Amino acid sequence: MGRVVVISTGGTIASRWQGSGFAADAHGQEVMATAAVPEGVTVEVVDLFSVNSPRLTTAHQLTLLRTVHEVLADPGVDGIVVTHGTDTLEESAFLVDLHHDDPRPVVFTGAQLPLDAADGDGPDNLHDALLTAATTRGLGVLVAFDGKLHSARGTVKTQTLAADAFGDPSGARIGNIGFGRVSVLRHPRRPAALALPGLPDNLPRVDMVMHHCDADPVLLEAALNAGAQGIVLVATGAGNATPEIVEAVASATSRGVLVALTTRVQAGPITEIYTHGGAVDLVAAGAVPTGTLRAGQARIAVLTALLAATDPREREGVLRHALGEAMSADADPSAELVPA
């Protein structure tokens, strides 16, 4: 069916017992040896790094992004699979998706159980990702997990331990994988791909601050004092905080800091309903609402904007593009039905 390149980055799928807990230490060939390869698929492995995904840095993610583009420069490659730790998979997949302009798929997968587990989920997930990479086109960057196929945009880790670990709480999945085939149910809606970012010597700092009862601007101001060029405000409800937080946001945006507004609620869009510190005031203060994107992917969108431009207005424009604001407002931002 095709030639697939597997980029190995570590995570639970590559983890073994270390005496007190599990950690990634297996190479990509060892991970590949656990999985059945779909008939007709040939596999090549790129060992990029092997780390637990909470340890990933922006530098790791940009290296992965550039490696994906280097692999796809070979027209003989039919697709890519990225094996990745589940803790930050949603962030890396979204970063790659924002810069992916190729009909050939990039499919992220991983595992909830370690490499040597007798009942591990990694082998089946890897098989399904290989099948998806070899047989689908035009779907962007995908997440294959537990027999389900998800678009990178909007997909987050929804379970800490369960095998069915990923989904988009605000939208439907892209398809199902089983019985030797991929059944595509919906096509993702994606903005035009962004150009590959440069690799500055000093990568921009982007911090997250969560609102809660009794919250004040101290943590937001601490992030700014630490040099943050971008802030993701994780608000309550449909994107609400307090007048004090609004003042801090206005101060930050007046200094050219990019502020994105998301919510700690699992599903649903940011909506300008409330004042007295609510989303109405936060947006007026310069915060950019992130729609249904949650904190991790909102941070990636801010990071991408900071890497793409230096002018504050241009950065905000890139952020709004990354958030998909140009896509139809009356359509599901993550997917559309496949024509019958």
Q: Contact 186/172 with Cβ under 8 angstroms? A: yes
Token pair for 89: 């998979």
- CB neighbours of residue 120 within 10 Å: 18
User: Is 9 assigned a catalytic role?
Assistant: no
How far is it, in rounded angstroms, from Cα 190 to Cα 333? 8
C-alpha pair distances (Å), 24 with each of 15, 17, 27, 143, 195: 4, 9, 9, 20, 31
Element (H, E) at 32: helix 28-32
- At residue 22, what are phi and psi to the nearest 5 degrees? -95, 150
- Extract the tokens encoding 42: 């040939």
CA distance 16 to 18: 6
d(CA 194, CA 30): 34
Catalytic residue among 9, 12, 86, 242: 12
- What six digits make up the tokens of 275? 């004042």
Residue type, 213: C
List beta partners, residue 17.
22
Q: What are phi and psi of 5, to 5 degrees?
A: -100, 125
Q: How far apart are CA 233 and CA 46, in angstroms?
A: 36
The beta strands (E) that lie in the chain are given as: 2-10, 15-17, 22-24, 41-51, 79-83, 106-109, 141-145, 148-151, 156-157, 166-167, 175-178, 181-184, 186-187, 206-210, 230-235, 258-263, 288-289, 336-337
| CA 6 to centroid of chain Cα atoms | 18
Please give the positions annotated as active site.
12
